[in-house]
């Protein structure tokens, strides 16, 4: 606590709380976006009105117009044709809140950044980093609409590839914000001089982001609602509705059971690499400074794997699936802190 206070005395507290707030909001919108997907609410607003879209329907007539627009897309015609206006309002509010939060993040990010630039409260390196992040936030809004458009014409759902891109970019923005937050608030004075070898923390973080991307593919095809057994997939290690030859074609990226298989096994790989890193850290006394960090990573990884197993067993129950996504935020946070700390060792 004392070190944190001393660090803030040498830094602008407004910048500190701004970075922290934006990082938290990006984490929050990831959770809200997951719930929007899990409740099948993402196609309820069929237009992208950047400014007028800030206001929801305010009377019965406006609600009827919004509902009539939804009735024109395949999701309503082929899947939700019996939906009432009251039911439509439920999915509408999820998507509306998701978009409103995205706009709020853009506003809270942009105007303070201009102020900090004008007041010269950030050095050149930080400014470049934060303007890059701003570009990614704006690009993320475009990707979000690009994803929604894929479900408005011929599909009853959005493209799982675009969904994965949207989620992956959200996590990249979150990690960049968190990395710059750590750089801004922490002193770069290492207590020890040994790095964890083979870039293991970096590899684990990269594989975890890939795992999150694959999880979005699984979610986009509702692949979590099949093969609801563990550790085997209906008494088989490999799903019985496919064969290994499928990997010689990109069709495996369109096959729900195979995507679930890949998602499961990537989790096993991450856990094995984590155990290898634990062995290295606990074997050598000069890595003692990492033991607390590795414990946090272990707890986050273990809970995340348990949540993943229960999500499969209970057919992607909304509550469990949402907790699973929240767990991924905690996991990448602990891993990034480990990567940051390891990177500051000479």
Q: What is the pLDDT of residue 5?
A: 47
Q: Residue 2: what pLDDT?
A: 45
Q: Residues, the chain, total?
A: 346
Q: How many CA atoms lie within 13 A of 314 on its CB side?
A: 13
Query: 99-118: b or e for each residue (b if 16 or more CB lie within 10 Å)?
Result: bbbbeebeeebeebbeebee
Residues of the chain with pLDDT under 50: 1-6, 8-10
- Per the CB < 8 A criterion, the answer to whether 7 and 189 are in contact is no
Closest CA to 30 of 144, 107, 142: 144
pLDDT of residue 3: 47
The 3-state DSSP class for residue 236 equals strand
- CA separation for the pair 277, 200 (Å, rounded): 7
What is the phi/psi pair of residue 236, to 5°?
-130, 150
In the prediction, which pLDDT does 193 show? 62
The whole-number pLDDT of residue 110 equals: 96
Query: CA–CA separation, 157 vs 151, rounded Å?
Result: 5
* Domain edges within the chain: 1-187, 189-346
Question: What is the structure's pLDDT at 192?
Answer: 56
* Rounded-to-integer distance, Cα 140 and Cα 102, Å: 9
What is the per-residue pLDDT across 78-134, written as a single tens digit (0 to 9) for each? 999 999 999 999 999 999 999 999 999 999 999 999 999 999 988 888 999 999 999
Give the pLDDT confidence score for residue 189 in this predicted structure.
53
Q: Which of 195, 219, 199, 196 is nearest to 207 (CA)?
A: 199
- What is the value of pTM for the model shown? 0.93
Give me the helices (H) in 150-199, please: 160-185
């Amino acid at each position: 606590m004392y070190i944190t206070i001393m660090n803030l005395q040498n830094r602008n507290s407004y910048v500190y709380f701004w970075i922290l707030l934006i990082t938290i909001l990006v984490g929050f919108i990831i959770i809200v976006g997951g719930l929007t997907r899990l409740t099948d609410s993402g196609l309820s607003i069929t237009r992208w009105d950047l400014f007028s879209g800030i206001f929801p329907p305010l009377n019965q007539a406006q609600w009827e117009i919004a509902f009539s627009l939804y009735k024109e897309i395949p999701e309503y015609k082929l899947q939700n044709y019996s939906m009432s206006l009251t039911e439509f309002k439920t999915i509408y509010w999820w998507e509306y809140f998701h978009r409103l939060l995205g706009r709020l993040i853009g506003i809270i990010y942009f105007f303070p950044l201009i102020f900090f630039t004008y007041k010269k409260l950030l050095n050149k390196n930080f400014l470049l980093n934060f303007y890059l992040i701003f570009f990614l936030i704006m690009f993320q809004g475009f990707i979000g609409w690009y994803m929604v458009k894929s479900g408005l014409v011929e599909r009853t759902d959005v493209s799982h590839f675009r969904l994965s891109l949207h989620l992956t970019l959200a996590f990249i923005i979150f990690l960049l914000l968190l990395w710059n937050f750590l750089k801004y608030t922490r002193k770069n004075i290492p207590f020890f001089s040994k790095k964890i070898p083979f870039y293991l923390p970096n590899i684990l973080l990269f594989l975890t982001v890939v795992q999150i991307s694959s999880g979005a593919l699984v979610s986009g095809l509702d692949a979590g609602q099949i093969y609801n057994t563990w550790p085997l997939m209906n008494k088989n290690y490999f799903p019985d509705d496919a064969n290994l030859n499928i990997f010689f074609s990109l069709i495996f990226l369109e096959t729900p059971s195979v995507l679930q298989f890949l998602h499961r096994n990537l989790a096993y790989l991450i856990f094995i690499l984590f155990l290898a890193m634990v062995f290295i850290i606990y074997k050598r006394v000069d890595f003692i400074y990492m033991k607390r960090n590795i414990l946090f990573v272990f707890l986050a990884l273990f809970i995340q794997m348990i949540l993943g197993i229960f999500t499969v067993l209970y057919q992607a129950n909304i509550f469990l699936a949402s907790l699973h996504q929240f767990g991924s935020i905690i996991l990448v946070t602990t891993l990034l802190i480990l990567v940051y700390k390891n990177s500051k060792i000479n």
